[in-house]
Structure 1
Amino acid sequence: MKTTILRALCAAVLLGASSSHALVFAINEGVTYRVPADEIRGKYAAIAADLSKLLRQPVQIEPIGDYPSLRQGLSDKAYDLAMVHPAHLSIEAIKKSGYKLVAVTKGFQGYAASFMVKADSPLKSLSDLKGLHLGAPDEDSITSWMVRATLRDALGDPKQVKYTYTRYQDAVPFFVENNLTNAGASASSAVVKDWQAKGGKVIGKSKAVPIKHVIASPNLAPDQVEQVRDYLLSLDGSEDGKKKLAPTKYQGFERYDEAAMLALGAWLGL
């Protein structure tokens, strides 16, 4: 009898430990923007608190600043939830690791790369870039994946262009201004707007790819995924929800067809 009671107590302790196990919500803000980890934790604190109550488990925000770590973590299913800025890594996780697309971030569905040249440049179209140098953000950034896919469509082979990569998007114009490259590519609306305001030209744009996806690990039950989706989609529908969105500076979240996302992945070359 004592043995039976002891086993029951051990089972209860284990069950309690399991139920309180923290779910990891990984956050990646991209590699081509400067965002401190503590700032990221603060942005999502209120949302994490709500998700903890909703899922009845602590939800721990884990900023992931570099893509190799993010890619490995997604491959290992180490993240129960993830906000993934680079669409190609999100799509890889859906395609290869069983993650589910929960939602995309409003205001980022039309993310597209613009190809910039100086005001007096003779270049007029993407086909004119053949054999020339192009400045672009980090080689593994979603922007550069979009750039290469666009140039593949325009030239038949993205290797027809020589690339000079830089960590940050706002460094790309420096290459063009100082004749280090013949053109530059950026998907930062602020960078492109500033370029055009100074008289610079845009000779082409890539196809739009939604970025900043929320994805869920196959470790989460389908009903948990739906709970998270319903919560995120409802945030911009109330004043309380808008206050919780305010630190993130996002308008809200919306559904996106997973098959359509995978089709964009095929275009990217995944």
Structure 2
Amino acid sequence: MSLLLRCLPLLLAMAPTPGFSRDLLLGVSEGTSGGTDHARVILKYGGLAKALGGALKADVHVVFVREFAQLEDGMKTGRLDLAMARPSDFPARGLRDYGYQYVATAKPDGQCFIVVPKGSPIKSLDQVKGQKIAMPEKVSYMSKFCAAELRHNGIDADKQAVTYVREQEAVIFYITNGFTQAGAIASYSGAARKWIKDGGQILHKSVTQPYFPMIAKKDFTKAEIAAMQKALSELSQSPDGEAVLKSIGITGFDITNEAKLRQLLNWLGCTDGGCAAAKK
């Protein structure tokens, strides 16, 4: 296959739409997920950009935001007209600190799973207290998420024997090899999907919190926000829309999650005006 043919979908995704004179940037951050690049992200989210563009009568261009500092700066300066990002605390700060407006969150919501090995004598969350726990890096969003869930259930992670590991797959390794008695992983992670597929035991599921939120600059009108929400809500109602959702890896969009997203930082314990996640 020629280079032109391989690049044709990318070229079509970038081509201006006849009759649209307004250009908007949709910044997409997938956290620390590896194995991707700008071209793949444009193709992955090109259908979403087209749906948003149709609702706004504008050309929406996807921009891959690899670095968190770049995402923060894009919101702070308003260079990003729209942003869809994980970890979720970044869009939450976009609402709180930079005047962005809520558009939607991805379905399903995110959770922290507390997992234990098969045959574990630990049968309830309160029995985790005093046990060795494996968790993602302490600076990561999911570590903060799981620590908050434990804290809200009377367990202080800072007073536990916690081993922090770089990858969530390593959490599973520590549990299955007996290095820790419990572990904490994200419900939407590959580690969680494999754990469930292999029949792993989930001891506790946290409260749900918004996942992969989309926010918009403050200068969008209420009518434009409503138009985008309508377009996103209707994606699951058509084969083309389903293809867009499948490409992104979600089941749909929730336009009713604004209150939960706005309280997320307080729930995490980010009451100092910061609490920026350094990792996914």
- TM-score of the pair, normalised by structure 2: 0.76
Distance 2:137 2:70 in 1: 15
Deviation digits for residues 205-228 of structure 1, max 9, x if unmatched?
A: 211112011111113333322222
Deviates more, 1:194-203 or 1:218-227: 194-203
AA of the residue aligned to 1:253: F
Deviation digits for residues 187-222 of structure 1, max 9, x if unmatched?
A: 235534543565643332211112011111113333
Alignment partner, residue 129 of structure 1: 128
Is the contact between residue 169 and residue 188 of structure 1 (CA under 8 Å) also seen in structure 2? no
Alignment partner, residue 16 of structure 1: none
SS in 1 for 2:25: strand
Is the contact between residue 104 and residue 258 of structure 2 (CA under 8 Å) also seen in structure 1? no
Alignment partner, residue 182 of structure 1: 181
AA of the residue aligned to 2:97: K
Alignment partner, residue 58 of structure 1: 59
Distance 2:245 2:118 in 1: 39
Deviation digits for residues 227-265 of structure 1, max 9, x if unmatched?
A: 222221222222333333332233322311422332344
Distance 1:215 1:36 in 2: 23
Alignment partner, residue 213 of structure 2: 213
Q: How many aligned residue pairs are there? A: 249
Deviation digits for residues 114-164 of structure 1, max 9, x if unmatched?
A: 112223544333333334442223434442222011111223533122433
Deviation digits for residues 24-43 of structure 1, max 9, x if unmatched?
A: 21112232x44512322211
Distance 2:135 2:92 in 1: 22
* Percent identical residues: 29
User: Larger Cα Rg: Structure 1 or Structure 2?
Assistant: 1
AA of the residue aligned to 1:153: H
Distance 2:192 2:53 in 1: 39
- TM-score of the pair, normalised by structure 1: 0.78
Structure number with the higher strand fraction is 2
Is the contact between residue 146 and residue 207 of structure 1 (CA under 8 Å) also seen in structure 2? no
Pair 194,244 (structure 1): closer, same or farther in 2 beyond 3 Å? closer
Is the contact between residue 103 and residue 214 of structure 2 (CA under 8 Å) also seen in structure 1? yes
Unaligned runs of 5+ residues in structure 1 are 1-18
Deviation digits for residues 51-110 of structure 1, max 9, x if unmatched?
A: 34543443221122343432343233331111122222222211221111111223x22x
Alignment partner, residue 7 of structure 2: none
Distance 1:243 1:205 in 2: 29
2:250 is equivalent to residue 245 of structure 1: no
Pair 48,171 (structure 1): closer, same or farther in 2 beyond 3 Å? same
